[in-house]
Amino acid sequence: MQFAFTEEQDLIREAAQTFFREHGASQRVRAAMETPLGYDEGSWATMVREMGWAGIALPESVGGTGLGNVELAILQEEAGRCVQPSPFFSTVCLAAPAIRHAGTPAQQESLLGPIATGEARAALALTGAGGAPGLEGIGVTLERSGRKSRLVGEASYVVHGHAADLLVVAARSPGSRGAEGVSLIALPAGTKGVRIEKLVALDLTRPMARIRLENVEVTTTQILGEPEAAAAALTQALRLAQIALAAEQTGGAQGALETTTAYAKQRVQFGRAIGSFQAIKHRLADMMIAAEAAKSAAYYAACIADTAIGELAEAAAIAKSRCSDAFFDCAANMVQLHGGIGFTWEHDAQLYFKRARASSTLLGTPQYHRELLAQLMGLGAAS
Amino acid sequence: MRLDFSPQEETFRREAATWLEGQLSGPFADLRTGRAHDISAPERRKEWERALGRARWSAIGWPEEYGGRNATLAEQVIFAEEYARARAPGRLGHLGIELCGPTILALGTEAQKRRFLPKMSAGEEYWCQGYSEPNAGSDLSNVRTRARLEKGPNGPEWVIEGQKTWTSLAQFADWCFLVTRTEEGSTGARGLSYLLVPMHQKGVTIRPIRQMTGEAEFNETFFDGARTAAENVVGAPGEGWKVAMATLSFERGASTLAQQMGFRNQLDAIIGAAKDNGAARDPLIRQRLAEAYAGLKIMRASSLRMLTSAQSGKLSPEAFTYKIFWATWHRKLGELAMDVLGPAGELGTAAPYELQELTKMFLFSRADTIYAGTNQVQRNIIAERALGLPKEPRGGA
Ligand SMILES: Cc1cc2nc3c(=O)[nH]c(=O)nc-3n(C[C@H](O)[C@H](O)[C@H](O)COP(=O)(O)OP(=O)(O)OC[C@H]3O[C@@H](n4cnc5c(N)ncnc54)[C@H](O)[C@@H]3O)c2cc1C
């Protein structure tokens, strides 16, 4: 039992902090977010090619670094601290675990290899127009007849879908429900019949796309693992993604706290720094309490994911609900404690506030995760 | 970063669990309550403390010469968890073992260690904390109790005058660790000393104060010419503030994990009640139960973070937030208990004022955000020490 980061993990964090000080600087984030692509290609290339971060949690057999979810959480936390936009989350935290848990060894090698080296950006097409989280929200149907299969339908909230080379599509067999009939399909974004439309998203630092599939033909080799048997793998991958997202939210909460604390020391009203008013001090203290609790939840969950002790489902639900709430509280306080400037487009408070709201919804709201937790706790069904 | 325990540590866990089970299903079966605040059978509780001491389970983190086992942090964590899992009773000796003992270990003289620690861990001497006074609560440095050195029959002695209040467990205590002013005319944090004072003497009077729960766990304590030997001062005379603050930092020790397991037992009782009376189907109650459960898991993770870094001498940021987090969590748990129980929770069990366990917990949890630094004071500390914001202005005299 050593619930502290190792020296090696501290070094990873330091490297990440150095990287994001430059690549996550406010002007750079804002410039990138206004481009059609929504992120800085140079920064992305450095992250995945020079730093080798895309493969951090992937096994060495597919070209990864062979580290784990704790290391991934560190990177996510530092990225979240400056709300840096990039397809890292969609590629490394969402699509890659789906491939890893559902794919055959051969599929893993051919699909994860290019992700690990940074050649491929990927996205997970999961949630249909209805927006329900998890397997219930799948909006694409896989119609199978003999060796040929076709994808029909739409996924509407595909994070960085417009920038993906590879789509991992979650689909259901017609009329299936729950854990039954769920398949995962690897689909190059350029496949005939795939229409990708970048949407205007509340959070400009994490664009989303709508992906329409109009009778897209897929071969058996594109189906990850066995057809109609991917529910467990997808669920597992989503839990890992929730933990990685929770770590990012933790960083967001910390970033909001740091910026707001600095402002409270410098802004003077009534002849004194606003940070000397107890009403402000106590709010900042509450932000720190929330941010530290969020860190504990995220580190705990990442640790569970790596050591396979304890319940991953539970840890993911705890982390995603708590970190979502903590980030939103901190971002909301960031706006409030900045006063008028906090409401402007020009100030970064809006970026944190919107990221907080959007990431709270993404992969299930806090309420959704608490209800999951209630079921895991054995409370039975709700009335 | 890892959360699992080694095979040797698991062996240690079994050893601890076996001993606890043997005692609590055997000679101490009547104490298997898991209750933290229970002053109903003090003599039995002292027997339990002595049994712990004899088997060296009383203060396992201490050096062997003082009755401990030199246990590692992981072992202390394990023992704390097994202690609560076995539903062993709250420790009557905790003010000595958790607060005064570690202070003497860190800052006391060799002679003080040899004199006080073995009797503490053996359950032979009990302690109380004499900090608060009628006019020194959150503003502890406003202490007025005074002590001066005088010649006594066996050498110089401190002679103490003043009043302490809210002194928990003073009625069972043999000794008090007392913050008192020893420099004439000094104010604030300067000129205070940390004295160790025997309670059984003419100059000490204790008056119980009845609490909201109906019980009297805390007291008013009067010192009228009470005496203690000159050498019974921890740290240098006049440097008592530093020592008093060090004591407070020990409140974040491994025993906090036992406290959490106690919380777990309370949460389980609430869940059980919710399933029985149908509250568990209510979507809002479900959200709050899940939130409580999540908070408890986070508390454990935070304390493991805090304890792991304390081992390498670091004070990590979550340590600042730990007290207010658990206190607020527990206070909310009390409210949740009452909402789950409904009107039935508001009925007592016996005259004159016996309440159900969870109802008592609801009341007692209101104190959690007051003692050991109120929530407001905790926020000031976080803001000033962790975030570096300007200090609160002090009023004039
Ligand atoms: C169950 C229980 C057991 C206790 N046991 C012991 C014991 O064994 N030994 C012992 O010495 N003491 C003990 N105490 C006393 C405890 O430490 C004090 O009650 C506590 O420090 C608060 O002091 P006070 O009661 O004087 O309240 P006050 O300090 O008068 O506080 C009143 C209110 O003012 C607020 N306040 C005060 N200062 C500030 C500030 N600077 N900024 C914002 N708000 C402020 C407080 O938060 C509180 O809400 C115990 C208390 C309880 C409830």
B150 is catalytic: no
Q: Contact, A35 vs A92, CB < 8 A?
A: no
Least confident range from A247-256, B35-44, B247-256: namely: B247-256
> Is B286's CB within 8 Å of A378's CB?
no
State how far residue B300 is from chain A, nearest Cα, in angstroms: 9
pLDDT digits (tens, 9 = 90+) for A119-175: 999 999 999 999 999 999 999 999 998 888 999 999 999 999 999 999 999 999 999
Q: Is the dihedral of CA A348, A364, A376, A183 positive or negative?
A: negative
Mean pLDDT to the nearest integer, B333-353: 97
State how far residue B240 is from chain A, nearest Cα, in angstroms: 28
pLDDT band at B397 (very low <50, low <70, confident <90, very high): low
Q: What is the pLDDT of residue A81?
A: 98
Ligand 1 atom nearest B130 alpha carbon: 11
What is the location of CATH 1.10.540.10 in chain B? 7-92
**Burial environment of residue A178 by CB neighbours within 10 A (0 to 12, 13 to 18, 19 or more):** exposed
Query: A200: Cβ–Cβ under 8 A, 6 or more apart, which residues?
Result: none
3-state secondary structure chain A: CECCCCHHHHHHHHHHHHHHHHHCCHHHHHHHHCCCCCCCHHHHHHHHHHCCHHHCCCCHHHCCCCCCHHHHHHHHHHHHHCCCCCCHHHHHHHHHHHHHHHCCHHHHHHHHHHHHHCCCCEEEECECCCCCCHHHHECEEEEEECCEEEEEEEEEEEECHHHCCEEEEEEECCCCCCCCCEEEEEEECCCCCEEEEECCCCCCCCCEEEEEEEEEEECHHHECCCCCECHHHHHHHHHHHHHHHHHHHHHHHHHHHHHHHHHHHHCEECCEEHHHCHHHHHHHHHHHHHHHHHHHHHHHHHHHHHHCCCCHHHHHHHHHHHHHHHHHHHHHHHHHHHHHHHHCCCCCHHHHHHHHHHHHHCCCCHHHHHHHHHHHCCCCCCC
pLDDT band at A223 (very low <50, low <70, confident <90, very high): very high
Q: What is the pLDDT of residue A148?
A: 86
Going from the Cα of A46 to the center of ligand 1, the distance in angstroms, rounded, reads 54
User: Which stretch of DSSP H or E encloses residue B233?
Assistant: strand B233-234
pLDDT band at B40 (very low <50, low <70, confident <90, very high): confident
pLDDT above 80 (res A207): yes
Go through the domains of chain A in sequence order and give each one's CATH number. Answer: 7-94+110-118 (1.10.540.10), 123-225 (2.40.110.10), 231-376 (1.20.140.10)
Q: How far is CA B210 from the centre of its chain?
A: 19
Select the residue of A289, A309, A370 nearest B321 (Cβ to Cβ). A289
Ligand 1 atom nearest B375 alpha carbon: 47
pLDDT band at B307 (very low <50, low <70, confident <90, very high): confident
Catalytic residue among B251, B291, B318, B354: B251
Dist CA A173 CA B248 (whole Å): 62
Q: What is the pLDDT of residue A256?
A: 98
pLDDT above 80 (res B37): no
Most distant CA pair in chain A, distance: 79
Q: Which CATH class is domain B7-92?
A: mainly alpha
State the first-to-last Cα distance of chain A, in angstroms, to the nearest integer: 41
pLDDT above 80 (res B315): no
pLDDT digits (tens, 9 = 90+) for A86-132: 999 999 999 999 999 999 999 999 999 999 999 999 999 999 999 99
Mean pLDDT to the nearest integer, A242-267: 98
Q: What is the pLDDT of residue B252?
A: 67
**Nearest 5 degrees, angle CA B134-CA B139-CA B140?**
75
Least confident range from A256-265, B200-209, B258-267: namely: B258-267
What is the location of CATH 1.20.140.10 in chain B? 252-386
pLDDT above 70 (res B374): yes
pLDDT band at B387 (very low <50, low <70, confident <90, very high): very high
pLDDT band at B211 (very low <50, low <70, confident <90, very high): very high
Give the residue among B111, B92, B90 at the shortest CA–CA distance from B32.
B90
Least confident range from B24-33, B172-181, B332-341: namely: B24-33
Dist CA A226 CA A183 (whole Å): 8
pLDDT above 60 (res B385): yes
Tell me which CATH code domain B252-386 carries: 1.20.140.10
The residue among A318, A324, A375, A383 with the most chain B CBs within 10 A of its CB, best to mutate, is: A318
Cβ atoms < 10 Å from Cβ of B243: 23
Could you name the CATH architecture of B127-237? Answer: Beta Barrel (2.40)
